[in-house]
Amino acid sequence: MFNLLIVEPDDTQAEIYELALSEHFNLSRVEDFTTAIKVLKATHHQLVICEWQIAQQTADQLGQCVVEKGQFSEPIIIVVAKEDSEDAMAQAFQGGVSYYFTKPYKIIQFTENILALKKGIEAIHGATQQAFDFQEATQSALNQASVYGIGMDLAASVSKATDSQSIAEKVLPTLAESGIHCALALRSESQVEYFDTHLEPCDETTENVFKVLHDKGRIYRFGRRIMLNEKDVSLLIKNIRATDPEVFDSVLDMGAKLITAISTQHVKLLQQQALFDTHSDMQVVLDKLNENVLSLSKEMRTILETVSSKIHSSFHDLGLTESQENFFLELIEKELETRANHEGMADLDTLLNAVTFRLKAKIDELAIAAD
């Protein structure tokens, strides 16, 4: 119900207003403009009914309490005056008075005018509220669209990240600029990397939140905070600037999709690193094998030469002819050389080289170009 302030020193006239309007308004009464100004500044009133002049003061002083509200102003000041001069009316309207009635008047007609005015104000208020609701709905839709747009951009950006730091740099500052403050945890077999909103390391409390909630389901809500989990990645939404519940739900939906994109890239980088490490290990094995093969070949050649020399000496002691010695010596040397043949080692060397080459080709294929 609207608030109506009556500024009237005469008790009889005030009672007439009260009888006519008390059913339709919350009425309050003061007897002078000085008090009226104090009341209007302290309490919101939609309408004021007053005399044009009380003592040495005129109603245009109330104009200082009128507040512009778009298409209309409040309070609406209604003057009831004995004086109907054009000068008084002009002064009243210039001072912020909206309506000017002159006495004598019919109370029924006056009441109907006031009620019609009330109805008009209600219509304006209703239209204003509808416009406000529409504006809020539009803004909410724009905010939701913006959230989803950010999510799509981040998913595309994350796919170009080259390491854990790069993932955090692409995700956290962008979300923070949009009023979504988050922290990120990236897990591997050997370590867990924590990144806070502005890429600084997380404090102990935040790390403990990750440790406690990373295995509590894909989406874990606690108050206005959310923990989003994948096997190797967790995203903690710490604070959302927007208070609109629909925007909050949009952030949750966007985050659930974004965490999948982050996890996919993180796992891809871990797999790439595993391939790189395997390639490095294979290269070490291959180098060691080549070194051992060369060493073994040299050792076998030395042994062969020693054995051949001793056999030659023993044949000479047996009194064999030179032709016989050469025959048996050549036969034994061929057999020893056959025994010392490293074709199996050579095949293994070829195989390892082929595996190393394929690993290198796969690493180059998966390599992610830096921005």
Query: Is the backbone of residue 98 left (phi > 0), alpha (psi -120 to 50) or beta?
Result: alpha
Residue in the structure block whose two tokens are 């609406």 = 76
Indicate the pLDDT class of residue 351, thresholds 50, 70 and 90.
low
Q: What is the pLDDT of residues 116-159, one digit of tens each?
A: 888 888 887 777 777 666 666 655 565 666 677 787 888 888 98
Distance CA 185, CA 229 (A): 9
Residue 270, φ and ψ in degrees, nearest 5? -65, -40
Q: Which residues contact 53 (CB under 8 A, 6 or more apart)?
A: 59, 81, 83
Distance CA 325, CA 320 (A): 6
Q: What is the pLDDT of residues 196-249, one digit of tens each?
A: 999 999 999 999 999 999 998 999 988 888 999 999 999 999 988 766 676 677
Q: What is the pLDDT of residues 5-24, one digit of tens each?
A: 999 999 999 999 999 999 99
Whether the per-residue pLDDT at 77 is higher than 60: the answer is: yes
- pTM value is 0.50
Distance CA 278, CA 226 (A): 38
